[in-house]
Amino acid sequence: MKLLLLGPPASGKGTQASKIAEYLGIPHISTGDIFRENISMKTELGKIVKSYLDNGELVPDEIVTRVVVDKLDKGDYRKGFILDGFPRTIPQAKSFQRNYEFDQVIYIEVDDETVMKRISGRRVCPNCGAVYNVYFNPPRYKGRCDICSQQLITRKDDNPEAAKKRLREYKEKTEPLVEFYDKQNLLRRVNGLKPPEEVFDDIISIINPTTH
C-alpha cells in the first residue's frame, strides 16, 4: 500500500500518518527526516540540498523529488510506505509519478477558519510542554498552565501572521494536488473536523475496507 496523506497545515496529517503506518506495518516517511539524514551523512544529494539551504534558498522541486525517490529506491518498501509532506507541489508530484505511483491519496479536509484557529490559538507551556488551544482546549485559568501554573506562550510559528502565511503557501502550491489526484481517481476525502480517533477510523475504513 503506497499512501499519501494530504491536507492543510494543522490538519493532523503527520499524527495520522504515523498511526496508520503503525497499524498497517509500513514505514512512515517524513521528508524532513530524509533531508536531515542526507545532510548529516554528507551524501551527494545532502551536499546539494545543504548548499541551497545555506543560501536561504528553496530547494528546487527536482532535487526534493530526487531525495525522496533515492530513499525509496534504496530501502525495502515492498509492503509500501506512507508519505506526508511530499509531494508539496504539482511539479514534485509529476516527477515523483515517473518513479512511483500512489495506490491512494487521503485528503484530510479542514476549512480555513479552523486551520487558523488551530494554529493561532495554540499555546504551549514553556515549563512542562503541555499544549492548549484558546478556542478548542483552553486552560482552566486564562494564560496559565493547568499542570504547573506557568505562564503559557505562543510559539513564533503560531502567531496569526505566520499562520496566514503557511495557509497561503499551502493554498498556492499544495492544494492544486487535490484536483491532480482526484482526476486520477486516487483521492479519498475524510472530514478532518472530527476528533482524531474518528478521522483515523475513517481513513482505515477507506484503505482497508475488508476489515470494516
Q: Does 204 bind Zn ion (CB under 5 A)?
A: no
Q: Does 124 bind Zn ion (CB under 5 A)?
A: no
**Residue from 114, 93, 113 nearest 105 by CA:** 93
Whole-angstrom Cα distance, residue 141 to residue 199? 30
Least Å distance, CB 140 to Zn ion, is 12
Q: Does 127 bind Zn ion (CB under 5 A)?
A: yes
Whole-angstrom Cα distance, residue 174 to residue 180? 10
Q: Would you call 13 a catalytic residue per the annotation?
A: yes
Whole-angstrom Cα distance, residue 99 to residue 38? 20
DSSP element (H, E) containing 190: strand 187-191
Q: Does 131 bind Zn ion (CB under 5 A)?
A: no
Angle at 112 between CA 139 and CA 62, to 5 degrees: 115
Q: Would you call 166 a catalytic residue per the annotation?
A: yes
Return the number of other C-beta atoms located less than 10 Å from residue 50's C-beta.
16
Catalytic residue among 47, 79, 155, 171: 155
User: Are 134 and 143 a contacting pair, CB within 8 Å?
Assistant: no
DSSP element (H, E) containing 133: strand 131-133
Region binding Zn ion by CB under 5 A among candidate stretches 89-97, 98-106, 129-137, 191-199: 129-137
Q: Which is nearer to Zn ion, 47 or 155 (CB)?
A: 155
Region binding Zn ion by CB under 5 A among candidate stretches 27-35, 136-144, 150-158, 159-167: 150-158
Least Å distance, CB 137 to Zn ion, is 14
Q: Which is nearer to Zn ion, 10 or 125 (CB)?
A: 125
Region binding Zn ion by CB under 5 A among candidate stretches 84-92, 98-106, 144-152, 170-178: 144-152
Q: Would you call 71 a catalytic residue per the annotation?
A: no
Whole-angstrom Cα distance, residue 146 to residue 144? 6
Q: Which is nearer to Zn ion, 106 or 145 (CB)?
A: 145
- In the list 48, 59, 63, 130, the residue contacting Zn ion (rule: CB under 5 A) is 130
Read off the C-alpha cell for 10. 494543522
Contacts to Zn ion by CB under 5 A: 125, 127-128, 130, 145, 147-148, 150
